[in-house]
Every structure is written in C-alpha cells, then in structure tokens.
Amino acid sequence: MLKITGLSRIHITLFDLEGRHGRIDGGMGVALKEPKIVVTSGNCQKVKLGDYPPEGICVKENYEEHVGLGHTTQYLLAIAKLVSESNFEKRSALELARVVKRGGTSGVGVHLFEQGGFVVDGGHSIKVKSLPLPSDYSTAPPPPLILRGNFPWYIYLNIPSGKRIFGQSELEAFKNEVSGLDELARVVLMEFIPSVIEKDLSGALDGLWKIQGLGFKKIEVQLQSNLVKETMMSLYKTGFPSGLSSFGPTIFTFVSSRREGEELVSRFGGWVSEPNNRGAQVEWN
C-alpha cells in the first residue's frame, strides 16, 4: 500500500499586488503537522489525473476547506503525488502543481509540500502574470522559491466563527486598492524574516502584528468577522500578537513551547501544532 502524508499551512501574507517593480504576488508561510491530509492507495474512490490511468485512493485524514489552511492545494498535491508514485514516477511538487493547476498566485503551498518549514517565494514576473488574481483564476506556473528554513516554534491556531472567502468573493477582494506596500516590504525583509532565522520570537511576533495592517493583508483582515478581529485583539492583549492565515478565518500566533500554546487553548480554544519541517512524506507498506 502506498501512503502520502501531507500537511496544512499558514499563509502569512502576499507581498505585492501592484507589480510596479516587474513582479507580482510573492508570499511567505509555514507548514503545519496538524491538521494534515493523508491519502492511500485503495478502492474508496477513483481519480483521474492527467494522462495517468484511473487510480483508486482512500482519504484517511482531511481537514476543512476555505478556512485559510491551504486545503485545495494540499489535497490536490497529495492525490497527484500518490498517483505519480503509483506509476513509479518521482515528480516534484512544482511539476505536480502544473498538472493540478495550483501555485498561480502564491507558491507557498507548493514549496511547503515539497520541503516543509518556512518558505518565501519571489512572486511572478509581470511578463507571465500581469494582473492580481487568486489561484483559482490564474494560469501562471508556481513562482520561484527565494528562501527556505526550518521553522523554530510551535504554532497556536484558532478558527473563530468567520467568513469563508473563496470563488467570486475572493476574486472581488483582489480588485481592492492596496496601500502600505513599501512599509510591508521593510517589515518583512528587515524584521520578520531575520527574526525567524535568528529565532527571535518577540521580533517575529512584532513583525507579524505590523503585517496585519499593511498591504493586501489589511484587506483580508478587514473582510473578516468581528469575532475574528476581536479574538486577534484578545490574543494581542494577552501578549501574543497574532496573524490571519490567508483570508481566514484561521488565526495563529507563535509560542515557545507546547505548554505555552496549551495555556492559550484553555483560554481561547483552538489547538497547537508543531511545524512540519520535512514536507509531505511517501511510504510504501
């Protein structure tokens, strides 16, 4: 039996939806161990992928769609990986993403599936993609990987009752005018990324909180429910600046230990996950 153990991810922010400097999109995020997607070979359902013959699969573990944890990309890549491995083809996540048409906006989910950890992608050249569009409406290939490192902290996560933004509503959101991109670039490059690399938790959390009010992330936060925003503020007042993952409603913060995360769980609900610093795993039994 073939088994693919996938992952979920938090998407921290997109960088630039204007493209004035020759590139558009760009993003960063972190792979999670929980929740995850697990698919195996089996007779539960048949899938047809590209030129491959129909493949029998079983979905053993799964998680919710449209909550900001990257389900669509991770689910499709897990199935694509199982189908390709079943046919004794070792194809990279970038190759598989082209088959299942993912990575047209952010490449974070694609690169995390392959390598796990913390990744930053370089966005798309405006020669390839000239307009800001979500992945469901973009035909661009996945963008290049700029940086990858192991993520050093546990992640606390919570899904308050909030809006699930996808499809047409997501497309409309991308039409909003963004502001604060120059400041966002400085916070990302000169505070958040170095703090992750140097394992400076307070610096990373300070940068994360600033990001919530800048660029496209500001729009994503504004579109969410009052409860989501109130929970973020409650975490901030507790000493844990938080972020909205993609469009949400999932929110997250970083903690130094599982115990610290469980204290937040006891107060606010949610769960604690370790980072997935390996990427998706392939097992033959």
Summarize pLDDT for 24-69 with one digit per residue, the tens.
999 999 999 999 999 999 999 999 888 888 889 999 999 999 999 9
Q: How many domains does the chain have?
A: 1
Instruction: Say if CB 197 and CB 28 are below 8 A apart.
Output: no
Q: What is the pLDDT of residue 214?
A: 98
Instruction: Say if CB 36 and CB 61 are below 8 A apart.
Output: yes
Q: Which residue has the tokens 């539960």?
A: 44
The CATH number of the domain holding residue 267 is 3.30.70.890
CA dist 70 and 171 (Å) reads: 16
Instruction: Say if CB 146 and CB 123 are below 8 A apart.
Output: no
Summarize pLDDT for 224-233 with one digit per residue, the tens.
999 999 999 9
Helix, coil or strand: residue 68: coil
pTM, two decimal places:
0.95
Summarize pLDDT for 76-98 with one digit per residue, the tens.
999 999 999 999 999 999 999 99
Domain that holds residue 75: 2-284
pLDDT reading at 163 higher than 90 = yes
Half-sphere exposure of 228 (CA within 13 A, CB side): 24
